[in-house]
Amino acid sequence: PFDGQPVLWHQDGSYWPLDPMEVVTLWLAVDASTPQNGCMRVIPGTQAVELQEMRARTDVTNVLNSEIDPALVDETRAVDLILQPGDVSVHQPNIIHGSNANTSPLRRAGLTIRYIPTSTRIDVVGQWPCAFLLRGAAVPGTNTYLPRPKYVPGVSMPFRGCEAWQ
């Protein structure tokens, strides 16, 4: 609430060290996400736009300190993704999107989850801090995955089937 920092127009894939860029993002709304509290806005059809290099943008306070070339954005076509708690938006890495500043008294929180196939290489030196193998088999020599989190009774929040996570 009252954050006042927009996320300027961007493509997620421009920030990620993935090769090939085969990834899908799920954003799970924890709170209602509305125009009043700065919901995500997308420019339909821009998933077909090639990934662009991001430009530094620090003259306006913003979350990423960068933006895509404004000439690629027709804001008159922007669509607000209005979500209720528990709703999910799904988008691919090329779609141009952003969000206005949340100057309302309402919190807007969500959980971002990204999925890649085991054939997509995470091109970083060392261990990517959040890569887990959720199913299937790792492709030898492609990525190093973190061990699955463990359920710790009395510390972790219990959930159905938590005993299997010990």
Query: How high is the mean pLDDT in each 10-residue block of the chain (166 residues)?
Result: 92 94 96 97 96 95 95 96 98 96 95 95 83 92 89 92 84
Q: Is 49 strand, coil or helix?
A: coil
| Cβ atoms of residues 84 and 90 within 8 Å | no
d(CA 39, CA 20) in angstroms, rounded, equals 29
**What is the model's pLDDT at position 80?**
98
Q: Is 24 strand, coil or helix?
A: strand
**What is the model's pLDDT at position 81?**
97
- Nearest-CA neighbor of 113 among 53, 29, 43? 29
**What is the model's pLDDT at position 130?**
86
Dump strand ranges (E) for 12-59: 18-19, 24-29, 40-42, 55-56
What global pTM score does this model have? 0.87
